[in-house]
Structure 1
Amino acid sequence: MRKRLRIDITRSAIAAAVIFFVLTSGFMLHRFYSFYHSYSSFDQGIFNQVFWNGIHGRFFQSSLSSYLSSAVLHDGNLPTVFYHRLGQHFTPALFLWLPIYALSPSSPTLLVLQAALMTAAGLVLYALARVYLSPQLSTMITVSFYAANVVIGPTLANFHDSCQLPLYMFGLLLALEKRWWWLFAGLAVLLLGVREDSGILLFSVGFYLVLSRRYPRIGLILCTLSFGYMLVLTNLVMPLFSDDISRRFMIEQFGGYIEGSEASTLDVIWALLSNPWLLIKEIFTPFGRTIQYLL
């Protein structure tokens, strides 16, 4: 029997969501209108420019992103106004929020949108917890989500495309538990569209489904889809816009594993597999700071 798409939420969980949204959006708007910068203020400018260009038909163009391109940083060229950011980060899921931005095309709209997405993620987490837990425990989990440093910190920073991930991920898991397969498929596609590396999250879900033997066929499909998507995207699609993925991002993030000034994702994967002990060392060192981060 198909389960109904209905979710009952306690007043306490709703109250926690309202408090979280009011506080986070209020603090972000206060910081913005007070001209107080944060560590990611440049990213705020990039996304505001991408959205502004998007509602005017210049999709994913950003002169600020051009300033960070390998053509400027490595070759000494001047930034261009028509640079397509898709060569740095492939983020088609942002299309979904263009109509909201068009209602009030400004940076504060993105800040409120980020607070709203994170708030909605907490409510979906509550619904996910209710599949197996009591309303009281589910409410406590929701409150702990809103109170977590790893949630508050990024939310209070400036807008970033990763703010979509918790909502899509929790929704994907909820759809899995409820067997809402149409919603599951849609959220899987949206998850892949957030960033070029968000396929790792979808791959982890597929790996769990295979390992737990709950839905091994679906898990195998997810693993194949996500891994193949990331490989095709980073090796064939993104290089059509720029060579930043191979000349900048792979070198900046994985330069310790590879030689030379350019590398593809396939080169990085092979380097990681060829140096497993170095990978383990990088994961667990420095040990004290690693434990502190996990706590």
Structure 2
Amino acid sequence: MLSTHENSLPFWTARPVLIYGPHKSGSTLLQRLLDGHSSIWCYPMELKLKFMTLAPPASRLDAAVANQKFCQLQGFAHEKWDGEKFMNLQKDLYETCIGLGGYIQGMAWVSWQCAAVAPRQPQMWLAKEVGGRTGPVLNAWRHLFYDGKVVFILRHPLHVVRSIVLLRLRTGKSMSLHRTYRALNDTLRVTWDCASRASEPWAFPVVYEKLTSPDKQDLMQHLCDFLGVEFEPVVLGPTLFGEKAVVGTSSKQTTEVFEPEKDWKTGLGMMHILWMSLVYWVLNNYYSFKVGKWKMRDYTALSAELNRLAGEK
């Protein structure tokens, strides 16, 4: 039987890194860039920690198992992934783990054992989380893992929602004005919540526009320094299990990192453009004022400040 007592788990499972930001902000891209690093094991899917924080602390482990939010890997398919082995090992986790933290550490270890290609001696592991209630998610993460680090990934909110709208349209689904409002509201809320915490010693801000620029190497070098690992050129391109990969959430079928569309209005109808412009102006002012950063409400000023912070980490 698998043992997930804290003394039996590898030391690196107690050194987690969480990539966090709004939906469609580039979290999967950043996860795939770090996937090939020889010292980092990247949990292949999203943790879904936000769903666990909805339950009372005493029942979060039960909620994790009952809702199977941590079990996305049950349906994960890849030629270098042993799904059957994962299923067998995962069944023992609930009976042997100690609390939600032990369960999450156990999932990191189990997933590492099921990959045909993985770092032989990882120094840490990395997972991603998007959306949800920023405060509870980060508080839970910091409570479960005192030494855990967080990498914020932020992108211009209008570009984020544009991506959401176009994705739905490409799949034959409509995007009502109410749904558009909710998407923009959630994106701005998470963006400013993250921005207000970007200077914390345990946090590192990544600006998507910088990450997809030709000079992203400087940013990735600072990120590796923050994580305490050596910079490796492999982190400049997305990989999955050691192979070049197309990012699953990408709008283009390419294994290269590409610069996004400059104009957020491209591809959108006039109704969405007018509605998003109005909602953005109102909510951006509100949330930037709420977190005490109203002077940086312009995204250009905010991204410049975040890039400055990243350079000083």
Task: Indicate whether the TM-score tops 0.5.
Answer: no
Q: TM-score, normalised by structure 2?
A: 0.29
| Higher relative strand content | 2
| Higher relative helix content | 1
